[in-house]
């Protein structure tokens, strides 16, 4: 479903300075944007397809279960589901190396599962229980795993962008070749701090991949109603940051773009923007009836571009897997999710004393008598 | 075993709704994600999606039914190999027992400290009533106080400006720890807008002394990310007025992450720069943010007065595992104080200092407020009033022990600060004294603060807007009932 994926195949990260002529004025326009084109979708081995299928399905089933637990009152507050966008985070994760960091906004459950965080810990955090990743004190939008290099989980739209840029700054400072993968949406792309970050990242050639997950709606406002420039891959133009649009529903296309972007960063070329053309099937959050789009639009996307169905089809048709073998994976994923839900419903709430812990990293003197 | 499909909630507060429409009917096969029904409340309509795969075996609630309780079974789903005849056999509900969010067995208990105490011992009103007439206050617990010397006996003292002291603190910590770096506008090649970072670029290079574009929100957030990534950033704001552009990153990202992460990771970072009124720069460049930042759990807030404290506290702030707001003052930068000549001079965060011993009244201040307090105390001494002056040094966590010990001895207190009076640091101190030393007070606690107006430009008006030595003297005389 790529909106305007570049027709160039093979993809290149070589910078090109292009000259065009304005037809009306006849003046020559020198574009400073380094033009990049989307690489061909990656060739997936049987193992790659299996991993992609399993990881995406885990996110899908997990989110469906989270939605259900929300409906039953086990999960409170805001709960933003990732259903439909699975190929983005799974494809990027397949392009990452050990040590690379991930940071995102509030639609974060998929990112956490993709980085290898435990389904139990994530679900228990959603239900606000003591074994959740944040001991029940963070909730859906605020979870972290230093071990898995997942730096949140940020509830303020766009705030993760300078922070992700700072992770990249630390990588450079320490002469590590790790890349900070910084996810944000088409809505966050209109926040000022995003451009402050772009400027510094490009100025200092920081190894950060800005993954813009364009799911077409910032809550209820469509991209066209909120953005003067709707092609987010061009949003780095003023900062000399290259950008490409990717079919974010095809995990192979995402993986190939991720590989290219990571190589770009690791070779010291600085930041790069990947605009992932994707779609969320569910509302913005659980309480969003999604009246701003038609049912047909959602249905069409589901039936024609579903990222999981695409992989499943290839597994059956190109990799010689049987329906039964695929069902085995479904069953295994379902068991992980069911186990996490069971765990998250039975885990105790945090001890009341937890109210007063983790405010400071050291002991601080309490208020006097 | 057939599965019950339950009425979902659209929001945590929804208790019941209307089952508007069935999209699937008895006998239809459903897969996870398929829309099976629509429900609505007065606020919204929502689709119900199947979570499990199977066949609709029975519809329990007809379309159009109003007032369907959340979690009531609305249909039965049959798994592969099951038939209608299985319905009624011990049906498990989809996703567990249909119960609402559980509570733990523990009743909410009063936590340690104040609330527990107030809840615990309730003496009858008659016994608690203290007659105003002829009232005597309890004896002070510790009239002399602990004046333990922070500086070892015989230490050589070197006259140093606050500016040099701050620079020395950063340089020493940068030598000690490779992860410490400083960033901000004009900190490197320009040598600091107020010359606080003078010489640092030469010694540590551009990797560790980083000139930023004018982009407070961006570089504050970048600093937070660098701290998450294991570095120890010192972020200089050219003045704290500009930190307003970055307030979200300071509060939401730096201060709250440790708590939101359940203690797993926090944000060791120092935000520093001049704070409060300089001279003749008007409203947007003349604000004291001590009270603002002191409101936030997760932040430490430091505001030194002397050069020795500036140096010792900044070194402690850089080593602190928490985000520290370090409020300096442009007018104090050029003032000289004795600084101990020691290899590693640090001052603990969260500890006040008794600047001047006295017995008649306690003056509590911090930062540039101390300049008024100290002068007032000198003049008052000539008039026979012996004031004890306490320099808070840290606003959060606040060393109320030292304040209370003093107030229990002097029975009178005046607070001094340049910030606005409402919800000020002085207001907090007055409230704490009222709670913890009410019976010791001989007069209401008085606050001397900046006037409740934006800072004017005109020289005469600016002077009126700031507190003065006379304001402090008048307040002290008022609480001492002296003319």
**CA separation for the pair B162, B142 (Å, rounded):** 33
Q: Please, what sign has the CA dihedral across residues A306, A311, A314, A320?
A: negative
CB-CB contact of A192 with A61 (8 Å)? no
| Chain A residues within 8 A of B436 when measuring between CB atoms | 368-369
Nearest CA-CA partner of B49 in B24, B26, B71, B27: B24
Q: Do B51 and A64 touch (CB under 8 A)?
A: yes
CB-based contacts of B356: which residues, under 8 Å, 6+ apart?
B374, B377, B387, B388, B389
| Chain A residues within 8 A of B234 when measuring between CB atoms | none
Query: Which residues of B are known catalytic residues?
Result: 216, 285
* Interval B320-339 mean pLDDT: 97
b (16+ CB within 10 A) / e for B155-175 = eeeeebbbbbbbbbbbbbbbe
Strand, helix or coil for residue B16:
strand
pLDDT in tens, A253-271: 999 999 999 999 999 999 9
Structural domains in chain B, CATH included, are: 3-93 (2.40.50.100), 157-340 (3.40.50.970), 353-479 (3.40.50.920)
Question: Given the structure tokens 């075993």, which residue do they identify?
Answer: B1
Confidence of residue B456 (pLDDT cuts 50, 70, 90): very high
Q: Hey, which residues does A153 pair with through a beta bridge?
A: A104
| Interface mutation target, options A63, A170, A366, chain B, most CBs of B under 10 Å | A170
Q: Is B45 on the interface with A (CB under 8 A)?
A: yes
Shortest distance, CA A66 to any CA of chain B (angstroms): 10
Chain A to chain B, count of Cβ pairs less than 8 Å apart?
Answer: 253
Scan residues 387-406 of B and list those with Cβ closer than 8 Å to A. 397-401, 403-404
Compute how many other C-beta atoms are within 10 angstroms of the C-beta atom of residue B127: 7
Dihedral pair phi/psi, residue A340, rounded to 5°: -65, -40
CATH architecture of A79-117+142-323: 3-Layer(aba) Sandwich (3.40)
Q: Is B108 on the interface with A (CB under 8 A)?
A: yes
pLDDT in tens, A278-299: 999 998 888 788 889 998 999 9
Q: Hey, which residues does B21 pair with through a beta bridge?
A: B38
| Interface mutation target, options A360, A363, A364, chain B, most CBs of B under 10 Å | A360
Nearest CA-CA partner of B318 in B422, B217, B194, B231: B231
> What percent of chain B is helix, strand and coil (3-state, nearest 5)?
30, 20, 45
Nearest CA-CA partner of B451 in B430, B432, B437, B471: B471
Confidence of residue B141 (pLDDT cuts 50, 70, 90): low
- Domain range summary for chain A, segments of one domain joined by +: 79-117+142-323
Q: What is the pLDDT of residue A28?
A: 52
Q: Do B106 and A72 touch (CB under 8 A)?
A: no
Compute how many other C-beta atoms are within 10 angstroms of the C-beta atom of residue B340: 16
pLDDT in tens, A87-125: 999 999 999 999 999 999 999 999 999 999 999 999 999
**CA separation for the pair B324, B302 (Å, rounded):** 7
Q: Please, what sign has the CA dihedral across residues A153, A155, A161, A165?
A: negative
* Interval B4-27 mean pLDDT: 86
State which residues of chain A have pLDDT below 50: 1-19, 29-33, 367-369
Q: Please, what sign has the CA dihedral across residues B55, B59, B65, B67?
A: negative
């Amino acid at each position: 479903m790529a909106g305007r994926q570049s027709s160039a195949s093979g993809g290149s990260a070589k910078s090109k300075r292009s000259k065009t002529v304005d037809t009306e004025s006849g003046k020559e326009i020198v574009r400073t944007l380094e033009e990049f084109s989307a690489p061909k979708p990656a060739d997936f081995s049987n193992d790659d397809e299996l991993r992609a299928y399993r990881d995406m399905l885990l996110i899908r089933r997990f989110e469906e279960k989270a939605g259900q637990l929300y409906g039953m009152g086990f999960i409170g507050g805001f709960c933003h589901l990732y259903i439909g966008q699975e190929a983005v985070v799974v494809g990027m994760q397949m392009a990452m190396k050990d040590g690379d960091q991930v940071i995102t906004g509030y639609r974060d459950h998929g990112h956490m599962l993709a980085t290898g965080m435990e389904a139990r810990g994530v679900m228990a955090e959603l239900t606000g229980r003591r074994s959740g990743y944040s001991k029940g004190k963070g909730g859906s939008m605020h979870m972290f795993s230093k071990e898995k290099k997942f730096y949140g989980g940020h509830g303020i739209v766009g705030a993760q962008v300078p922070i992700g840029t700072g992770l990249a700054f630390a990588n450079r400072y320490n002469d590590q070749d790790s890349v900070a993968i910084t996810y944000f949406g088409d809505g966050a792309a209109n926040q000022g701090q995003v451009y402050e970050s772009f400027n510094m990242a490009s100025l200092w050639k920081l190894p950060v991949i800005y993954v813009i997950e364009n799911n077409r709606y910032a809550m209820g406002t469509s991209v066209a109603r909120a953005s003067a420039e709707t092609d987010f891959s061009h949003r780095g133009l003023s900062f000399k940051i290259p950008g490409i649009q990717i079919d974010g529903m095809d995990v192979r296309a995402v993986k190939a773009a991720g590989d290219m972007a990571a190589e770009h960063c690791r070779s010291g070329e600085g930041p790069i923007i990947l605009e992932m053309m994707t779609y969320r099937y569910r509302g913005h959050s659980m309480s969003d009836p999604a009246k701003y789009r038609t049912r047909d639009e959602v249905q069409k996307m589901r039936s024609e571009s579903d990222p999981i169905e695409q992989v499943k089809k290839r597994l059956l048709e190109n990799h010689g897997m049987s329906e039964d073998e695929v069902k085995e994976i479904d069953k295994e994923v379902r068991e992980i999710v069911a186990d996490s839900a069971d765990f998250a419903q039975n885990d105790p709430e945090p001890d009341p004393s937890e109210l007063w812990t983790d405010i400071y990293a050291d002991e601080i003197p309490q208020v006097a008598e | 075993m057939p599965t019950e499909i339950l009425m979902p909630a659209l929001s945590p507060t929804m208790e019941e709704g209307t089952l508007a429409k069935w999209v699937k009917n008895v006998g239809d096969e459903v897969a996870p994600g398929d829309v099976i029904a629509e429900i609505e409340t007065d606020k919204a309509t929502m689709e119900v999606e199947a979570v499990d795969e199977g066949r609709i075996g029975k519809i329990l609630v007809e379309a159009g039914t109003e007032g369907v309780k959340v979690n009531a079974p609305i249909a039965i789903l049959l798994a592969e190999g099951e038939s209608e005849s299985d319905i009624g056999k011990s049906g498990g509900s989809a996703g567990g027992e249909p119960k609402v969010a559980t509570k733990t067995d523990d009743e909410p208990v009063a936590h340690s400290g104040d609330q527990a105490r107030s809840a615990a011992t309730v003496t009858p009103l008659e016994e608690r009533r203290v007659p105003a007439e002829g009232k005597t206050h309890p004896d002070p617990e510790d009239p002399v106080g602990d004046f333990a010397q922070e500086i070892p006996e015989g230490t050589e003292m070197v006259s140093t400006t606050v500016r040099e002291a701050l620079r020395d603190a950063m340089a020493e910590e940068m030598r000690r720890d490779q992860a410490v770096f400083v960033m901000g506008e004009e900190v490197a090649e320009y040598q600091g807008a107020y010359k606080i970072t003078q010489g640092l670029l030469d010694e540590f290079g551009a990797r560790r002394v980083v000139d930023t574009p004018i982009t407070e929100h961006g570089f504050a957030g970048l600093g937070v990310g660098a701290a998450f990534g294991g570095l120890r950033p010192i972020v200089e704001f050219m003045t704290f007025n500009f930190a307003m552009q970055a307030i979200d990153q300071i509060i939401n990202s730096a201060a709250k992450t440790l708590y939101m992460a359940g203690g797993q990771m926090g944000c060791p970072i120092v935000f520093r720069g001049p704070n409060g009124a300089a001279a003749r720069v008007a409203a947007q460049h003349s604000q004291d943010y001590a009270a603002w930042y002191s409101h936030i759990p997760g932040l430490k807030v430091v505001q030194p007065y002397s050069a020795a404290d500036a140096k010792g506290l900044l070194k402690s702030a850089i080593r602190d595992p928490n985000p520290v707001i370090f409020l300096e003052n442009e007018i104090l930068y050029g003032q000289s104080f004795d600084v101990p000549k020691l290899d590693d001079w640090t001052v603990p965060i969260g500890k006040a200092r008794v600047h001047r011993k006295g017995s008649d009244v306690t003056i509590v201040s911090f930062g540039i407020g101390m300049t008024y307090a100290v002068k007032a105390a000198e003049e008052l001494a000539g008039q026979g009033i012996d004031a004890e002056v306490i320099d808070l040094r840290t606003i959060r966590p606040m060393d109320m022990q030292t304040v209370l010990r003093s107030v229990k001895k002097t029975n009178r207190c005046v607070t001094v600060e340049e910030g606005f009076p409402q919800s000020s640091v002085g207001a907090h101190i007055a409230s704490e004294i009222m709670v913890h030393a009410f019976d010791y007070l001989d007069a209401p606690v008085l606050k001397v603060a900046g006037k409740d107006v934006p800072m004017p430009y005109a020289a005469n008006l600016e002077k009126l807007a700031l507190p003065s030595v006379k304001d402090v003297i008048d307040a002290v005389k008022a609480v001492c009932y002296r003319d």
